[in-house]
Amino acid sequence: MKKTRRIKIFKEFFIQLIYVSIGILIIFPILYALSVSFMENKDVLTKPINLLPPSATLDNYSIALTRTPLLRYLLNSTIVSLISTISRIIMGSMAAYAFSFYEFRGKKALFALAMATMMIPPDVLIIANYGTISKLGLINTYFGMCSIFLVSANNIFLLRQNFLSYSTSLRDAAYIDGCGTIRFFTKILIPTSSPILFTLFISSFVSVWNQYVWPMLVTKENEMRTVQVGVAMLKDRESSIFAPIMAAVIIALLPTLIIFILFQRKIVAGMMDGSVKA
């Protein structure tokens, strides 16, 4: 009996060892980029290959931060992601409020119309949207970069699901207490919905931060590029200098990676709710 138990413990240990190894294999590209970011450039492409830096250096980070506008890129990404995310939450919860607490003419049709936007991939629209943005003179502006991310039908859907779980009696009670619709929205509905709002905030932030095509299209000045666009352009100019590029890559991926590791459960919960629609 004791022996089989010991075998079982050993087997469990062994399985976990294998699984963690597979896990490390999967994140290997990230680990390798991290390692290269500490290497001297001459140690990157060698035979035999260096998996760990023979002599560790922080030079690549100082090169990445001083010779490229990486800090400016990070600032741009932060501004664009924050504006878009906050706008998605405000406009999304306002629309969801209308769809869950009011009865009005055309409600079903308008809701269907909002949901239909999920069927049109934003990539199909980039030509026409680029036209709009350039006509409005918004190329190279934060508003232009945020414009197509300002509302998400998915967020409206999730917030509506959430608001529908409130009993209308709560709102009616608030009315009787003399609480107007705006006060009900700002003082009761929004504060009590903070868990879902937080989830949406995190997942929207990560998704806007990682956008590439649209920010690339509407920024012509180097100073206005987001970190994803800026990093992808490093290679054109300094194609063989991989060590500093990997330092830039690590700086670019760190914010979302940290957010992901810290809030993984929340992000996942947000995505799962989104899938219920299917």
Interacting residues with another protein between 1 and 60 (CB under 8 A): 12, 15-16, 19-20, 22-24, 26-27, 29-30, 32-33, 36, 44-49
DSSP H or E segment with residue 237: helix 227-237
Q: How far apart are CA 119 and CA 127, in angstroms?
A: 18
**Cβ atoms of 228 and 217 closer than 8 Å:** no
Q: How far apart are CA 70 and CA 68, in angstroms?
A: 5
Please choose, out of 53-61, 67-75, 167-175, 186-194, the segment that lies near another protein by the rule CB under 8 A.
167-175
Q: How far apart are CA 162 and CA 97, in angstroms?
A: 10
Q: Which of 156, 149, 119 is nearest to 133 (CA)?
A: 149
Q: How far apart are CA 220 and CA 205, in angstroms?
A: 23
Residue 112 as a binder of another protein (CB under 8 A): the answer is: no
**Cβ atoms of 142 and 79 closer than 8 Å:** yes
Size of the site for another protein (CB under 8 A): 95
Please choose, out of 1-9, 59-67, 110-118, 194-202, the segment that lies near another protein by the rule CB under 8 A.
110-118
Residue 125 as a binder of another protein (CB under 8 A): the answer is: yes
Among 139, 188, 190, 259, contact with another protein (rule: CB under 8 A):
259
Q: How far is the CB of 260 from another protein (least distance, A)?
A: 4
Among 187, 194, 212, 237, contact with another protein (rule: CB under 8 A):
212
**Could you tell me the maximum CA-CA distance found in the chain, to the nearest angstrom?**
79
Among 1, 109, 112, 119, contact with another protein (rule: CB under 8 A):
119
Residue 264 as a binder of another protein (CB under 8 A): the answer is: yes
Among 234, 244, 247, 266, contact with another protein (rule: CB under 8 A):
234
Tokens of 4: 């089989």
Q: How far is the CB of 194 from another protein (least distance, A)?
A: 20
- What's the DSSP call for residue 184? I
Q: How far apart are CA 269 and CA 272, in angstroms?
A: 5
Among 41, 57, 141, 210, contact with another protein (rule: CB under 8 A):
210
Interface positions, 168-207, toward another protein (CB under 8 A): 168-169, 171-172, 175-176, 181, 206
Q: How far apart are CA 130 and CA 148, in angstroms?
A: 10
Residue 89 as a binder of another protein (CB under 8 A): the answer is: no
- What's the DSSP call for residue 49? P
Q: How far is the CB of 56 from another protein (least distance, A)?
A: 18
